[in-house]
Amino acid sequence: MEAINPSSGRKDNLTMIAFTVVVLTAPLWGKLIGADYPDLLQRFAIFGLFAIGFNLLFGLTGYLSFGHAAFLGIGSYTAAWSFKLLSMNPIPAVIFALLLSGLFAAVIGYVSLKRTGIYFAILTLAFAQMSYNLAYSVLTPITNGETGLRVLRDDPRIIDTALGVEIQGPLLGSFFGIEMTGYSGFYFCAVMLIAGFYVALRVFRSPFGMKLAAIKSNQTRMEYTGYNPKPYLLAIFIISGMYAGLAGALMVIVDPLAGAERMQWTVSGEVVLMTILGGVGTLVGPLLGAAIIKYFENIFSAINESVLLATFDFLPEGLQEFMVTIVHPFVGGGWHLTLGILFMSVIIFMPGGIMEGIRHLTDWIRRRKE
């Protein structure tokens, strides 16, 4: 496992600096790919965090959870309720979302981790679907069902009322007066992402991470050397769940609305795709995967016929229409198709995800230099 290898402190410092710079300058390089608007950048950061957390469990221990959407949803609802009951400040929302998603992860993890492999995946999936259906049916007083949980003007907001904080304009998350929307919302998510990345890096390099890798390679052997794998598994499951909870809370912080579809199994599936697409068990891979999928969802899906016609405007008329006919099924509503093709080719040609591709590329360049 390359990722687990102890490496020099300097190299990690460099990684951290490079990562921080890349994340914080996203609005600059986002321009190159038409992604320089806050909503998409927020999504990059939030789903990046979600995928990093998922990868801590799946990448390190090999336990494939198919129910991480449940923690995302729990984080969202907790943050929304914190907005409604306590304050529009994102700090309590983040804290409570972390606590509650951690608690749920402990319960779900305790039960699910009694099994491994496909049985574990099915158990987590079952829990997530259960949460999803509960949110739609008996829990509607808490979740507001299909309509989604919104923050309203006449909510109590105890802390805000006590401190005399009055929200004048629209009801948005407010970090000591800074509205959590647009680029300020993105920077809040970015700081969380950097912190989350740092924690993940520490886990990867720690003795704890080493034990997780041991669980992945051979659990029985680990037991023979005198370690009980269960506490480590549960601990990383909880950490991973808290990442998802944090991501869910951030969604509400930048856009105060929580809906049950965040708990649907497709969301759990999406994070699995992100991780595999980017590279399982690598630090940066899941982030890349998350960014690619969100980019496709938001940019490719928005390309309609008139945009295509404008793009192929330089061609003669017949050829222009021909190109539009060819390309049209792959963009707009057909963005899933393009993503599917990309996903299949990555899995077939680079089973290690995009990170493997990048490694091949750098190796090749190095060999050429020699």
Partner 1 sequence: MSDDIKTYSTLSRRGFLKTSVAGAVAASAPMFFVKNAHAFTNEPKGSTVTFGFNVPQTGPYAEEGADELRAYELAVKHINGEGDGGMLNTMKPVSLKGDGVNGKKVIFVTGDTQTKSPAARASAKRMIERDGAIMITGGSSSGVAVAVQSLCHEQGVIFMAGLTHAVDTTGKDRRRYGFRHFFNTEMSGAALAPILESEFGNQRLAYHLTADYNWGWSQEGSIKKHTEALGWQTRAAVRTPLKEVDFSQYITPVLNSGADVLVLNHYGKNMVDSLTQSVQFGLRDKQVNGQDFQIVVPLFSRLMARGAGDSIKGIYGSTNWNWSLQDKGSEAFVKSFGSEYGFPPSQAAHTCYVQALLYADACQRAGTFHPCDVIAALEGHQFDGMGNGPVEYRAEDHQCFKDVLVVKGKEASSSEFDLLEVVEVTPRAKVEYPTTMQDANYVGDLGSCRRV
Give residues in contact with partner 1 (CB under 8 A). 6-9, 11-13, 16-17, 20-21, 24-28, 34, 36-40, 43, 136, 140, 145-148, 150, 153, 169-172, 181-184, 187, 194, 198, 201-202, 205-207, 209-210, 251, 255, 257, 259, 261-262, 298, 301-302, 304, 333
**DSSP letter for each residue of 46-85:** HHHHHHHHHHHHHHHH----S-HHHHHHHHHHHHHHHHHH
Output 116 or 184, the one with its CB closest to partner 1. Answer: 184
Q: Whole-number minimum distance, CB 36 to partner 1, in Å?
A: 7
Q: Whole-number minimum distance, CB 8 to partner 1, in Å?
A: 7
Output 73 or 352, the one with its CB closest to partner 1. Answer: 73
Output 16 or 323, the one with its CB closest to partner 1. Answer: 16
Q: Whole-number minimum distance, CB 173 to partner 1, in Å?
A: 11
DSSP 3-state helix, strand, coil percentages of the chain (rounded to 5)? 75, 0, 20
Output 139 or 350, the one with its CB closest to partner 1. Answer: 139
- Contact predicate 199/238, CB 8 Å: no
Q: How many CA atoms lie within 13 A of 30 on its CB side?
A: 22
- Contact predicate 292/277, CB 8 Å: yes
Tell me which amino acid residue 365 is. Answer: I
Q: Whole-number minimum distance, CB 114 to partner 1, in Å?
A: 30
Q: Whole-number minimum distance, CB 21 to partner 1, in Å?
A: 5
- Contact predicate 75/248, CB 8 Å: yes
Output 146 or 363, the one with its CB closest to partner 1. Answer: 146
Q: How many CA atoms lie within 13 A of 41 on its CB side?
A: 27
